[in-house]
Amino acid sequence: MKLKMYLGTMLLLSVLMNGCLVGHRIAYEVKPEKDGKGTATVTYYDIRSDASNEQEFQEDRKSLFEYMLKSDQFAADLKKEGKNILSRDIFIEDNQLVGKAEYSFNDLGNVEGLAHEDGFYFLTLALDDSVLATNGEVIKSANYKRIIWDESITPLKFEILTEPADEARLRDLKPFLKK
């Protein structure tokens, strides 16, 4: 498992990782409240398809631009995971297709397993997960990597490399974005 975050993750990732859609990196900005509720904004950069044939590519396009971007069913599916969609968008930035979503949650643990204990927030990751940026402190042990934030820090920010860019095998989805 490349990232613990692939499981049950927010809007885009929950479907992106199930199909043939891939991205280069993902950034989170989480605004927790004392009661465990809050909001999260997730930005997924450089979304592409690694479909091996035209049928899979068409399924990827439909999944991204119809299901994730527009459908009520996607919002309902995420609600089952404790994530209530507030907004979602797909756009082009720096010549990359980017997906951005904001959702509210009633349980901090629904945000990639974030936890709050003894005055600190923390996220536990696999050792091979690449943390590109954070406003917390990254601590490594023999078995895992953890990002820790003092509870006075808000919002909690972290950016993770999800898949190394491999342009040769990926198909561009930017031409299919209709605004």
For the stretch 4-41, pLDDT in tens is 333 334 334 434 444 488 888 999 999 999 899 999 99
The per-residue pLDDT for 73 is: 95
- Tell me which long-range contacts 137-146 makes (C-beta under 8 A, separation of at least 24): 146/122
- Assign 165 a pLDDT band (cuts: 50, 70, 90): low
- Assign 51 a pLDDT band (cuts: 50, 70, 90): confident
For the stretch 117-133, pLDDT in tens is 999 999 999 999 999 99
Encoded tokens for 143? 């078995």
Q: Give which of 159, 157, 161, 131 is closest to 146, Cα–Cα.
A: 131
For the stretch 52-67, pLDDT in tens is 889 999 999 999 999 9
Distance CA 36, CA 64 (A): 30
The per-residue pLDDT for 166 is: 62
For the stretch 38-47, pLDDT in tens is 999 999 999 9
C-beta atoms surrounding 56 within 10 Å? 15
Cα 170 versus chain centre, distance: 19
For the stretch 74-118, pLDDT in tens is 999 999 999 999 999 999 999 999 999 999 999 999 999 999 999
Residue 122 host element (H or E): strand 120-125
Hey, what amino acid is at 69?
L
Q: Is the pTM of this model over 0.75?
A: yes
